[in-house]
Chains A and B, each alone.
Chain A
Amino acid sequence: MMRIALLGFGSVGRGIARAILAKGLDITVTGIADSRSGIIDAGGVDLAAALARKDQGEPCGDPGISPMDVVERAEYDILVEVTPTDVETAEPALSHIKGALRRRKHVVTSNKGPIALAYPELRALAETNGVFLKYEATVCGAIPLIHAMQEGLAGNAITRICGVFNGTCNYILTRMAAEGLTYEQALAEARDLGYAEADPTYDVEGIDAGIKLVILANTILDMDTTLEDVERTGITLLSPEALQLAEDQDCTIRLIGEIIPRAGVLRVSPRIVSKIHPLVVEGTLNAVTVETDLAGDLTFIGKGAGSTETASAVIGDLLYIQSRHVQGS
């Protein structure tokens, strides 16, 4: 039996709770916190009841219990940190993660902030305390990209990573190409469908894709980068005419994130891509090509966001730790 504490009970947190219930996983949740309240119960929180309260628009627990209380007082083996990302300070997630690692608890997170901003420090803290820090869900949702590179491709030198890292932009560009919509029309449609936030800056200016590049560069490629190092151009100025000009040559335009470690290239920009290129995926899908010395090129395609899809990555990390976990550590 594995005990987890869950910080963040929004789309991702609830997706994890639902998956634990639906699959009957041998996981006991001993603490939950959202932005307004918390629950600590060493005997196991009633997940179905917590989900029902949340669905009613109520806080999930006691307003007197903060996320940090759960980090410091709950009895758990793994902290699951799935609160919203802050790309500038990484807080409060950074403090949550440090608190858990210092208590010698493993950490699984979907929060990009701490991994992008403080990975070397967090990794050192995890190593000192003999625990795992896993973050598969931070990059491309359901695609097990980090696991593939750290485990399956461990013997390879990675010479280039490029891909579609943001589903919102991919949806907008797909719709502009298919229907001749303007950027504004396609964005409005993406908002109606819940693919874009009220303030879409984070997605459409390439910040989200840039942060993912920083995570891959710093955690997989041994680079030392920040978002400032990413040469970044968004999609807000793209015109339907430009997409038509690309179409005339059997090409289209996609927002591509690219890392070339040897040349120090970190770049997010709209690029002309042949329509038969494997990275040209439709709708909100993500696609990433990893170029390696031994394995050649590998392309991964899958859902980059969503409650259940992100939960898939988090649960994969939990079960990874469980399979290597010394009970009672």
Chain B
Amino acid sequence: MKLEMRDRPGQLVAALKPISAVGGNIIAVIHQREAATTAEALDVQIVLELPEGRLEKLLELLREQGVNVVRIGEERLLYECTLIVIGHLMHTDLSDTVSRIDTTGSSEVTELSMVMPAIDSPSSARIIIRSTTRTEMKRAIQILRAVAEQKELLIIEPLEDA
């Protein structure tokens, strides 16, 4: 999620407190001086992660603090993971494989590139999953692993930093 506000003295500090109060996690604070604006009207963007259903409460707290939120950009799926899957993807109902991730509500398959070299030989696909949180991403990968075992697919996960 992205909050944008005018940069007036005290606004930033006033904005940060309520975020932690509602259990939010600040990912980035960006000061951006736009060419058309004066120094006084500097924009501040705060990128943050927020548990479901806490947005209204946060906005209320921010208003109480006198923070003027200009715009809210909601990006639900902050985490991205690329995997490769090998096997008989079409014969084992690819749309079912995808929907098992999508029906979690917190993770989605957002991209799929598939190569099918020949009839009857296994196909390979690169899939991109996006999730709301790191924990949800782990859950989505667990689901995919279970599906892979059931459908005899090989799933190749990325090597990530611990």
Residues of A near any B CB (own CB < 8 A): 159-160, 162, 233, 237-239, 241-242, 244-246, 248-249, 251, 253-254, 256, 258, 260, 269-273, 277, 279, 291
Q: Are A242 and B124 in contact (CB under 8 A)?
A: yes
What 1/0 mask marks residues of chain B from 75 to 95 whose CB sits below 8 Å from any chain A CB?
000000011101100000000
- In the complex, whether B55 has a CB less than 8 A from a CB of chain A is no
Q: Are B86 and A273 in contact (CB under 8 A)?
A: no
Q: Are A272 and B162 in contact (CB under 8 A)?
A: no
User: 7 more A-B contacts (CB under 8 A) besides A238-B154, A238-B156, A245-B124?
Assistant: A233-B154, A237-B122, A241-B117, A241-B124, A245-B115, A248-B113, A253-B84
What 1/0 mask marks residues of chain B from 95 to 127 whose CB sits below 8 Å from any chain A CB?
000000000000000000101010000111110
Across the interface, B126 reaches (CB within 8 A) one of A248, A254, A258, A260, namely: A248
**Residues on B with beta carbons closer than 8 Å to the beta carbon of A238:** 86, 154, 156
**Residues on A with beta carbons closer than 8 Å to the beta carbon of B113:** 245, 248
**Residues on B with beta carbons closer than 8 Å to the beta carbon of A269:** 156-157
Chain B's interface: helix, strand, loop or mixed, by majority?
strand
> What distance in Å separates the Cβ of A274 from its nearest Cβ neighbour in chain B?
8
- Taken together as a complex, chains A and B put the C-alpha atoms of A241 and B154 apart, in Å, by 13
Q: Are B84 and A237 in contact (CB under 8 A)?
A: no
- Taken together as a complex, chains A and B put the C-alpha atoms of A40 and B125 apart, in Å, by 60
Pull 7 A–B residue pairs with CB atoms less than 8 Å apart, ordered by A. Answer: A159-B162, A241-B115, A242-B124, A248-B113, A256-B159, A272-B158, A279-B159
CB closest chain-B residue, reference A291: B162
- Taken together as a complex, chains A and B put the C-alpha atoms of A258 and B157 apart, in Å, by 13
Q: Are B162 and A160 in contact (CB under 8 A)?
A: yes
**Residues on B with beta carbons closer than 8 Å to the beta carbon of A239:** 86, 117, 122, 124
**Residues on B with beta carbons closer than 8 Å to the beta carbon of A162:** 159
Q: In this complex, which of B113, B115, B154, B157 has the most chain A Cβ atoms within 10 angstroms of its Cβ? A: B154
Contacts A272-B82, A272-B84 given; does A245 touch B159 at CB 8 Å: no
> What distance in Å separates the Cβ of A253 from its nearest Cβ neighbour in chain B?
6
**Residues on A with beta carbons closer than 8 Å to the beta carbon of B82:** 249, 251, 272
Interface residues on B, range: 10 to 19
**Residues on B with beta carbons closer than 8 Å to the beta carbon of A258:** 159
**Residues on A with beta carbons closer than 8 Å to the beta carbon of B84:** 242, 245-246, 253, 272
CB closest chain-A residue, reference B116: A241
- Taken together as a complex, chains A and B put the C-alpha atoms of A241 and B162 apart, in Å, by 28
Q: Are B157 and A272 in contact (CB under 8 A)?
A: yes
Q: In this complex, which of B82, B157, B159, B162 has the most chain A Cβ atoms within 10 angstroms of its Cβ? A: B159
Across the interface, A245 reaches (CB within 8 A) one of B87, B122, B125, namely: B125
> What distance in Å separates the Cβ of B15 from its nearest Cβ neighbour in chain A?
35
Q: In this complex, which of B87, B115, B123 has the most chain A Cβ atoms within 10 angstroms of its Cβ? A: B115
Q: Can you list the 10 inter-chain pairs with the closest CB atoms, starting with the nearest? A: A241-B124, A241-B115, A271-B159, A242-B124, A245-B126, A272-B158, A237-B154, A160-B162, A273-B159, A239-B124
- Taken together as a complex, chains A and B put the C-alpha atoms of A162 and B160 apart, in Å, by 10
- Taken together as a complex, chains A and B put the C-alpha atoms of A273 and B158 apart, in Å, by 6
- Taken together as a complex, chains A and B put the C-alpha atoms of A279 and B160 apart, in Å, by 12
- B residues 119-162 touching A (CB-CB < 8 Å): 122-126, 154, 156-159, 162
- Taken together as a complex, chains A and B put the C-alpha atoms of A245 and B83 apart, in Å, by 10
**Residues on B with beta carbons closer than 8 Å to the beta carbon of A249:** 82, 126
**Residues on B with beta carbons closer than 8 Å to the beta carbon of A256:** 159
- Taken together as a complex, chains A and B put the C-alpha atoms of A256 and B157 apart, in Å, by 11
**Residues on B with beta carbons closer than 8 Å to the beta carbon of A241:** 115, 117, 123-124
